[in-house]
Amino acid sequence: MAKTSFADNGALMSPRTAKYVEAIIREGDNFDYCKWLQRVRDEEVQAKQVSEASASPQAVPGQIGNRPSTFDNPDTSVRPAPRLMVHLRPLPISQFTLKLQDRTVKAQLIRWLEKVSDARHEFQASRARDAIYDYLEAVFAIVMHYKVRRRTKRLLRQAFRFADLRSDNNADPFTAVIRCTCGDAADNKMISKWARALRYAARRKPAEMQLKAFMKDAGGVNACAAGYAKLKRRRNRRN
């Protein structure tokens, strides 16, 4: 069976999720979730500002970047203003391969589960209203990464070992990862709601859209969980 490359998997993830996966694999034990999240947010704000500046109808030739206007000198040939672009340079796949070769698959997965658990701690410690989305995005990233590689059972096995719980290869991966990284911080009702919301996102979220943006557009976590319940009832009626 041909192996699925990380580049192929990226098409199924949001840009931020893909960056999250890249950072974990690239930095390994040195990965700092808080610093990574702040860096990504800064990059997104900068990219948005650049996009708005380049698309603004108020931009006048000769004022962008404090360059002198060609209209001040009629002898100067008129040249189009340089197009502002943000160059995102993805890490070459060969470097991912080298990183994976330096670590066993089991150790890498355990470290990733630790990072997801750290994201849960950050969510609990934060008073921000939208902090839950960062944790759910971490859960979504690890589940989708192993799902597209058809390694869900490996993820389940290691997740239950990570939490010292009885293994269940038939468990829903979103539910399992949440339960195994939350400990006693969330009850069964809350875990079930989060898992349903992520299953809904896995079915309906466009590949290029960030998880947070998708969920908020859909009405939030509760609305996504309700949306999955509707999909399930509709499927059961067809069967």
Domain assignment of residue 135, yes or no: yes
Domain assignment of residue 31, yes or no: yes
Domain assignment of residue 73, yes or no: no
Domain assignment of residue 72, yes or no: no
Q: Is the pLDDT of residue 25 over 80?
A: no
43-88: per-residue pLDDT in tens?
888 888 777 777 655 544 444 444 444 434 444 455 555 554 544 4
Domain assignment of residue 80, yes or no: no
For residue 91, what pLDDT band results from cuts at 50, 70 and 90?
very low
Nearest alpha carbon to residue 191 among 203, 182, 204, 202: 182
Nearest alpha carbon to residue 21 among 102, 125, 137, 126: 137
Instruction: Give the chain's largest Cα–Cα span.
Output: 80
Nearest alpha carbon to residue 124 among 140, 135, 113: 135
Between 220 and 236, residue with greater pLDDT: 220
Average pLDDT, integer, range 111-120: 92
Tokens of 225: 């969980």
Total domains present in the chain: 1
- Please state, in angstroms and rounded to a whole number, the distance separating the CA atoms of residues 7 and 12: 10
Domain assignment of residue 71, yes or no: no
Domain assignment of residue 63, yes or no: no
Domain assignment of residue 153, yes or no: yes
Q: Is the pLDDT of residue 104 over 90?
A: no
Nearest alpha carbon to residue 198 among 158, 41, 179, 235: 179
160-186: per-residue pLDDT in tens?
999 999 999 899 999 999 999 998 888
Alpha carbon 224 to its chain centroid, in Å, reads 17
- Please state, in angstroms and rounded to a whole number, the distance separating the CA atoms of residues 13 and 207: 5
Domain span at 147: 6-52+87-238
Q: Is the pLDDT of residue 238 over 60?
A: yes
